[in-house]
Structure 1
């Protein structure tokens, strides 16, 4: 792939413009001079002819905004170049290999100490943090594989030094065709073998009934529009259970409408989906501000405050709407526990907000990812895409969880031994909590 200078400039400019006028969080980013950053990156993208490194520059640029719903994705034609045959995770304060080539299976869960001679902490700071924004270190490294290639774009192979040996990855080897040794897609607990299965739709929904009449509902994603109808179809089979475990660990989101459809089972009538703000841009106040010194405006005067907020990009309006799903077949008043982890994000966090902050369920597990909001999406030269977050999402009481995550009521510390044994400690703790409530 080759990208002309005009294409490279156009890609950067589209990101700059759409973020300038649509990014929802400028009120918390007043220390960032976005126009200055654009000019600095403009010089770099004009010089950078390598498409992989060009896209890396775009990722660095957009990540200055520090928001998980504001990002750049590589075109499919480039992805084999930055695929690596390993994955990493962050457990017990250490970076570990969570998937490796099958011929290196003895390195599974080994602690990463250095990459190409650079200590892992320094490597992460230099080559992962600038490209994948997430303040929660437990969540960041799930998405951090790109950094291992960008940081090792030179000659030769990537050398990943661990406490159990060295993983050598040939440059450009890619990871799509490797047979992998990795932990199970889903961990479990000992009693699960005795449960009665109500339904099982892989990568979407499963419902089980335990021996002591509890329902365990696993929702893997809110991105599939079939979820509400499938959930409503099967929920009558467990509506008389003593309580409910709702598992959204690993659920990276999708549609908040689907999340609210699931939450409706536990509320009678309309309910709030938290609070949502979005940018309001008016051309005339922007024009007026171009003739004024914004520092001298009297912000106690509505007209001058409107000029100031418009020019600073911090004029927000409340677009919150109540949710209600009349097709919901039942109301479930029984006790409920929701399970979440570091990868529970976006619409799945809307679900947490509905259930936790309205006092409807006890939240068990890990702090969630901390990113939500409708992204404006656009095409980039070469086939990549970018997204800019257009919503400020809050709990109903105004609690902010962007870049913070939603803390559990009962925190669960997943251990390295849990990974090795394929043991779902969060599920086990969730069931124990629910049994005490019933």
Structure 2
């Protein structure tokens, strides 16, 4: 009997590899505390309530019964992510506790991209390459139109600042909250217009992709010498000073180059100063200006005074007491959470001595260029005419997040800092627009073509003639 039970448990273990843990459950007290902690920190510190366009207190009250109705920790975190997503900010997130909630590793069985407002297949396992053509469009998921499926099942939990960021993240998250037992039925339209059907599920083994991804494995820095003396630098992160070291190691070759391409399309950010250290080598300008920022400020006594000022009485009070006008306005604004501390424009002194890289420069950007990489572009904008940017709008989200832990092993962050160009132009929620827009297309994936890089080479070639 013991052997039979052992075989049964072994069998169950095989079938339940990489399954979502729907058993673990923190207490209602912990759940309510986590919700309240997130609500409180956002209420005091969040920088973009005007963009969220939400009554935060009402939303908090509405989520109390939803949170208390969750049956396990996994479901609790899904609801917390939906609560967070109401703030519509890419630097404000709830992070699930990882392997405390998910057993095993899961690999998505298809790769999708959001291209021309369609969900396009951009990679498939080798085993499926003969039946699913690259560039096929997803029409339905589980018999539901794909857009409706994303809006119902995925988008409510996505925290995003810009519309394109929302859809990109939604498509990338299509398999989220699913384990290896969850079956997906896809209706696809091939590039030739044929309707095909494909049933699949997440895998517990690595996928052997039919179309190897470029530049794999991932590296923080890549250098390549292109034809015509063009140097290509791919900077995939600003999260470590080692990127600056990597860059400096290539300076002898860069000084020989006739033009330079900096590729930031997959740079998700890190430390703003890291990118600026590299930018210093491309200009003789002594002071490089970055973004201007502000953050909400709370002063308890002023909130107390301002609470006695009714909305309809404000204008009357300002006129009746001109000598106390500033005090009255400040009290009123603080009591409504609308008082701001304005920081200085970020300014960086260019202390790099010696020869500078003065050759023509192109910077490639895209939807995944985010945070500190966007800060790099704001500083680049201060160097008028120094570079041409090519590609697509950037991620559209930056700022200084406040990090804190949540019950059950998860964590959260809330954006506390609001950045703009020095002249007040907004880019959070929109993305930095390239000088020359070159959008990715399904045809590019089919032909394995990098149209953005090709445009950069074409432009630089014309400048070098």
**TM-score, scaled relative to structure 2:** 0.83
Higher Cα radius of gyration: 2
Could you say which residue in structure 2 is the equivalent of 1:233?
249
Q: For residues 242-264 of structure 1, give each alpha carbon's deviation from its aligned partner in whole angstroms, at most 9, with x where no partner exists.
A: 22211101211111111211221
Check the 8 A contact 1:21/1:313 in 2, yes or no.
Answer: yes
CA distance in 1, matches of 2:103, 2:444: 32
CA distance in 2, matches of 1:123, 1:433: 41
Q: Does 1:181 align with 2:197?
A: no
Counterpart among 309, 314, 326 of residue 297 in structure 1 = 314
Check the 8 A contact 1:184/1:422 in 2, yes or no.
Answer: no
Check the 8 A contact 2:444/2:450 in 1, yes or no.
Answer: yes
CA distance in 1, matches of 2:448, 2:165: 18
Q: Does 1:208 align with 2:224?
A: yes
Q: For residues 168-190 of structure 1, give each alpha carbon's deviation from its aligned partner in whole angstroms, at most 9, with x where no partner exists.
A: 234xxx44524242644327xxx
Q: Does 1:318 align with 2:342?
A: yes
Cα pair distance change 1:225/1:435, threshold 3 Å: same
CA distance in 2, matches of 1:56, 1:147: 14
Check the 8 A contact 1:84/1:169 in 2, yes or no.
Answer: no
CA distance in 1, matches of 2:349, 2:80: 40
CA distance in 2, matches of 1:333, 1:310: 48
The secondary structure found in structure 2 opposite 1:297 is helix
Per mean C-alpha deviation after superposition, the further-off stretch among 217-226 and 299-308 is 299-308
CA distance in 2, matches of 1:56, 1:143: 14
Could you say which residue in structure 2 is the equivalent of 1:193?
none
Per mean C-alpha deviation after superposition, the further-off stretch among 377-386 and 129-138 is 129-138
Could you say which residue in structure 1 is the equivalent of 2:19?
none
The alpha-carbon deviation at position 208 of structure 1 amounts to 2.5
Q: Please, what is the CA RMSD of the aligned residues?
A: 2.6
The alpha-carbon deviation at position 35 of structure 1 amounts to 0.7
The alpha-carbon deviation at position 112 of structure 1 amounts to 0.8
How many residue pairs end up in the alignment? 420
Check the 8 A contact 2:262/2:362 in 1, yes or no.
Answer: yes
Q: Does 1:87 align with 2:111?
A: yes
Cα pair distance change 1:241/1:415, threshold 3 Å: same
Cα pair distance change 1:283/1:89, threshold 3 Å: same
Could you say which residue in structure 2 is the equivalent of 1:273?
290
The alpha-carbon deviation at position 158 of structure 1 amounts to 2.2
Q: Does 1:167 align with 2:167?
A: no
Per mean C-alpha deviation after superposition, the further-off stretch among 233-242 and 121-130 is 233-242
CA distance in 2, matches of 1:201, 1:72: 28
Counterpart among 331, 349, 355 of residue 356 in structure 2 = 331
The secondary structure found in structure 2 opposite 1:129 is helix
The alpha-carbon deviation at position 123 of structure 1 amounts to 1.2
The alpha-carbon deviation at position 379 of structure 1 amounts to 1.2
Check the 8 A contact 2:392/2:438 in 1, yes or no.
Answer: yes
Check the 8 A contact 2:107/2:205 in 1, yes or no.
Answer: no
Could you say which residue in structure 2 is the equivalent of 1:48?
70
CA distance in 2, matches of 1:328, 1:148: 50
CA distance in 1, matches of 2:354, 2:92: 37
Q: For residues 391-418 of structure 1, give each alpha carbon's deviation from its aligned partner in whole angstroms, at most 9, with x where no partner exists.
A: 1111222210111111111111222121
Counterpart among 167, 171, 193 of residue 140 in structure 1 = 167
CA distance in 2, matches of 1:142, 1:149: 11
Check the 8 A contact 1:356/1:362 in 2, yes or no.
Answer: no
Could you say which residue in structure 1 is the equivalent of 2:40?
17
Cα pair distance change 1:92/1:285, threshold 3 Å: same
The alpha-carbon deviation at position 210 of structure 1 amounts to 2.8
The alpha-carbon deviation at position 365 of structure 1 amounts to 0.6
Per mean C-alpha deviation after superposition, the further-off stretch among 13-22 and 313-322 is 313-322
CA distance in 1, matches of 2:235, 2:456: 15
Q: For residues 351-394 of structure 1, give each alpha carbon's deviation from its aligned partner in whole angstroms, at most 9, with x where no partner exists.
A: 12222354221110111111111111111222222111111111
Counterpart among 415, 424, 437 of residue 398 in structure 1 = 424
CA distance in 1, matches of 2:189, 2:91: 35
Q: 5+ residue gaps in structure 1?
A: 188-199
Q: For residues 5-28 of structure 1, give each alpha carbon's deviation from its aligned partner in whole angstroms, at most 9, with x where no partner exists.
A: 111112111211111111112344
Could you say which residue in structure 2 is the equivalent of 1:385?
411
Counterpart among 135, 139, 150 of residue 109 in structure 1 = 135
CA distance in 1, matches of 2:28, 2:233: 51
The alpha-carbon deviation at position 147 of structure 1 amounts to 4.8
What does 1:241-280 correspond to in 2, within 5 Å? 241-268=257-284, 269-280=286-297
The alpha-carbon deviation at position 436 of structure 1 amounts to 2.5
CA distance in 1, matches of 2:217, 2:461: 26
The secondary structure found in structure 2 opposite 1:260 is helix
Check the 8 A contact 2:91/2:401 in 1, yes or no.
Answer: yes
The alpha-carbon deviation at position 240 of structure 1 amounts to 3.8
